[in-house]
Structure formats: structure tokens, C-alpha cells
Amino acid sequence: MTSLNKREKEFFFSIKIIAFDFDDTLVDEKESQKKRWLKVLKEFKHLSNKFEDTFIKIFEEKGHKYKYLINETINQLYIDSSNISKIVKKFRVTKSESEKTFKGAMGILDLLTNYKIKKGIISKGVKSYQQDRILLSGIKNKLDFIYYNPKSNLSKIQLFKKAMLDLKINNPSELLYVGNNFDEDAKPALKLGMKVIIIGDYTLINQNDNLIYVNNLTKINDLFQKYLHVKTTNVVK
């Protein structure tokens, strides 16, 4: 057995429950927000015939989490800045109509169901924003638990602690968290002693035995089949 395989085997040995982040881990939040923005922009197309094209260019360049998408669009087109608050307000009340799961998301949840491993979501997003989106994504009936942020006032560490208490997890290493952001997902989980898988094109050298980097959900599926199947098979025996 290579040192990498040995490390991976030890990593999965203690895991009993698996929790996922929602946005940009199981579902494509960028695509979701893009659809919402396009719906809103149609109502303000009278401001400029270049409004939508200009916005989308900035959206693709700066990303969906950039806070000043509308501001830059308005500024570039020399539109009255008084329209910013109106557009942002409209976006906030515009609901998502569909959610796109990433390739492999459904397969992983079905795999864990077959392995009889409890799985769910721990999201820092508020319930009013996430609840309907989880339903639209089609994964709700595949989950054993969902933890939302009540009013955006809880840290990820507080959410993890609440979940571990409710799920009766005695040792934090029994809980694996799958996310996409090192600072927001990995740091608080590792601080508590949890296991973490981060999805993304990371070039950092991993020096933490409780952390694994992968490129996509397909790789996680492969790891689950390789190591969790052995665990559940042994339990059955």
C-alpha cells in the first residue's frame, strides 16, 4: 500500500456521518444567480440597450459573489445611480425557479444511501434563501438532515457544534464536511477536529491529516466507493 493510500484509508476510518455545503459544492450557485439577475434585468432594459450584455460581461469577469455588479454596470453605461437600490431590491425578492446540481452530486447521495451512511447539509445560508432552493435542486428527499443559518448570525463553527450535538457525534473526527472554500469551510471544521474534503483546483501542499483536496465530485465518489464501501461491508459482516 502506498503512503497516499494509507493516508486516505486512515482519513476515512473514523467517519460515520457526512455533511455537505450546498452552494458551489452540490449546486451551481453562479448559474442560479445568473438566471435571477437576467430575470431582473429584463424589467430594467429600458435603461440601456446594452444593460444586459454589460452586466453579464462584468458578472463573468468578477464572479457571482462580487458585491458591486450592478454598481459597475450602471457606472459603465452612465445610468443614473438612483436605479441601483431599485435593482438590488428587486433581485433580493426574486426567487430562484430552478437549481442545477453539479455532475456527480446525485450519484454521491445515492451511494451514501446504499451504504446506509447518514448524510445532509450544513449551510451558512439563511433558511429563507436556501429552503426552496434545496427543494428545487431535487436532493431534499435524499438527505437525512439540513442545518440552515437562522438569521445569518451564526458562524460556521457554531453551526457545526449544533449539528454535532443534535447528531450525537461524540468525536468530531466522525463527521466529514465537504465544501469548496478553505477559509469558510475547512478552517472552522479543522479547528473542531472534523474531517474535511475541499473541492477546487488547489495547489497548496496539504499538511493536515484531516484534510483532502479534490478537483470535483467524481473524485469524491471514487474515494467513497474505495473506502466507505469497505467500512460498510465490514460492519455487515
Local confidence band at 150 (pLDDT 50, 70, 90 cut-offs): confident
Which residues are within 8 A (CB) of 215 and not within 5 positions of it... i.e. 6 or more apart?
199, 200, 201
Yes or no: say if 173 and 210 are a contact pair by the CB < 8 Å rule. Answer: yes
- CA 47, CA 77: separation in Å to the nearest integer? 9
Please tell us whether the domain made up of 3-28+100-236 is placed in CATH 3.40.50.1000.
yes
CA of residue 175 relative to chain centroid, distance:
16
Q: Closest Cα to residue 179, out of 75, 52, 29?
A: 29
pLDDT digits (tens, 9 = 90+) for 35-79: 999 999 999 999 999 999 999 999 999 999 999 999 999 999 999
What local confidence, expressed as pLDDT, does residue 58 receive?
A: 97
More confident residue, 233 or 74: 74
Section 162-171 average pLDDT: 95
- CA 35, CA 40: separation in Å to the nearest integer? 9
What local confidence, expressed as pLDDT, does residue 202 receive?
A: 66
- Grid cell at residue 134: 434545496
Local confidence band at 235 (pLDDT 50, 70, 90 cut-offs): very low
**Other CB atoms closer than 10 Å to residue 58's CB: what's the count?**
17
118: β partners: 17
What local confidence, expressed as pLDDT, does residue 19 receive?
A: 98
What local confidence, expressed as pLDDT, does residue 7 receive?
A: 80
What local confidence, expressed as pLDDT, does residue 230 receive?
A: 56
pTM above 0.75, yes or no: yes
What local confidence, expressed as pLDDT, does residue 60 receive?
A: 96
Which run of H or E residues covers position 145? strand 145-149
More confident residue, 4 or 156: 156
Pick from 71-75, 171-175, 206-210, 213-217: least confident = 206-210
- C-alpha to C-alpha distances, 153 to 66, 67, 191, nearest whole angstrom: 21, 19, 19
- C-alpha to C-alpha distances, 231 to 12, 20, 61, 65, nearest whole angstrom: 9, 20, 44, 39
Section 128-139 average pLDDT: 93
Domain boundaries, the chain: 3-28+100-236, 30-93
Mean pLDDT of all residues in the chain?
90
Residue 233 pLDDT > 50, yes or no? no
What local confidence, expressed as pLDDT, does residue 16 receive?
A: 95
